[in-house]
Structure 1
Amino acid sequence: MSPTLPASQDPTDQAEGAPAPSPCRFLFPGIRSIRGKLLVMISIVAGLGIIATATASFALWRMEDKIRIIESFYELNQKVLEIRRHEKNYFLFNDRKDLLNALDYVDQVRASIVAVKAVLLENKSELELLYDEELGRYETISRQLLRDELSPRNKQSLENALRKHGQNITKSIFEMDTKARIRVEREVAGYQKTAVLILALAVGLGSVLILYMMRWIMRPLTAIREASSRIKQGEMSSIPMNSDIQCSVEGIELVNSLNLMLQALNAKQNQLVQSEKLAAIGKVTAGIAHEINNPLNNISLTAEVLLEDLPNLACSERMDMVRDILVQSDRAREVVHHLLEFSRTRKSNIMVPVDLVALMESSIALVKNQFRLGGIVHNFHHPDEPVLISGTPNHLQQVLVNLMLNAVQAMQPDGRLDLAVSAQGQEARVVVSDTGAGIAPEALTRIFDPFFTTKNEGTGLGLSLSYAIVKDHGGDIEVKSEPGRGTTFTLIFPRLSKDL
Structure 2
Amino acid sequence: MSLKRKITLGFLISALLLAVLAAYIYVNFVEIRKEIRNLELTDTIRSKSLQLRRHEKNFFLYGSLDGREEVEIIHSYLAELNEMLTENRPIDETDKRSRMHALVGEYRERFSRIERLVHELQRVFERTKTSFPAYRQFFPLIEMTFLERPLKASEFLEREFQMRPNHRLISGLRELDEEIKRLRKNGEDIIMVSKDLDRTARANAEQVIAISQVAILVVFPLFFLSGIGVLFLISRSATRRLALLMETVERTGRGQFPHVDLPSQMRGDDEVGVLIDKFDSMEERLVQREAELEQKNAELMLTKKLAAIGTLASGVAHELNNPLNNISLSAQVLAREAGKDCPPSMHEAVTDILGQTARVKAIVGDLLEFARGKDPLFRQIELQDLLTSAFRHMSGAVDAERVRFSLTAPEGDVMLYADPEQLERVFINLFANAAHAMAGAGDLTVTVQPSPEEITVAVSDSGTGIPKDALEKVFEPFYTTKHRGTGLGLAIVFNILKKHGADIRVESEAGRGTTFTITFPKE
For normalisation by structure 2, the TM-score amounts to 0.43
Higher helix share: 2
For normalisation by structure 1, the TM-score amounts to 0.45
Larger Rg: 2
Larger relative contact order, structure 1 or 2 (CA cutoff 8 Å, min sep 6) = 1
